[in-house]
Amino acid sequence: MSNKKESPKPRLKLSDFYFADKHAAGSRMPIILPSGEDSGEWLLVRGPDCDESVNASRAYTRALFAVDDQLSALKAEAEESKNWYEYNVAKEDNTRGLNIDFITEIVIGWSLDEDFNHDNLRGLLLQFKGLIDQVTRHHAAMREELSAK
């Protein structure tokens, strides 16, 4: 047995509980090419626990509910006919822009040589649709990580 006294654990400061600033600063997300290979480039994505991300998430959710309301008659037809093709196409058409709007609010930078701005980001997302899923998964994983703690 040791006679050493364990030193008390250092007390936390108020700032140790501040997460919003860290989330607002973002985290790097590697850009994976359609082949599955890491491109060596990255996007800087805000975490879910900052005002900007919370506001973007709320706006996205409100817009999704509006799309659901707008497509309710088409959904009822699909349920009755068991043919979901038209509904699924309409839902995809109406949500793609919402996803891009959300991503342009939470992505705040990149490693690419071109200037980062919302127009350039939108152009990239329109050309590389798989990137939308990558950013969405990255942001969701950050949210799950917060929930697990």
Strand arrangement, sheet containing 107-110: 27-32, 38-45, 107-110
The pLDDT value recorded for residue 4 is: 65
> Helices in the chain by DSSP H: which ranges?
20-25, 51-70, 72-81, 85-106, 118-127, 130-148
Give burial (CB, 10 Å; 0-12/13-18/19+) of 56: buried
The pLDDT value recorded for residue 149 is: 55
CA 70 to chain centre: 24
Whole-model pTM? Answer: 0.79
Residue spans of the chain under pLDDT 50: none
The pLDDT value recorded for residue 1 is: 54
The pLDDT value recorded for residue 3 is: 61
Cα–Cα dist 26/43, whole Å: 9
Q: Which residue shows structure tokens 């699909």?
A: 78
The pLDDT value recorded for residue 135 is: 96
CA 138 to chain centre: 6
Residue 20 structure tokens: 């919003």
The pLDDT value recorded for residue 15 is: 72
The pLDDT value recorded for residue 99 is: 94
The pLDDT value recorded for residue 25 is: 79
The pLDDT value recorded for residue 12 is: 84
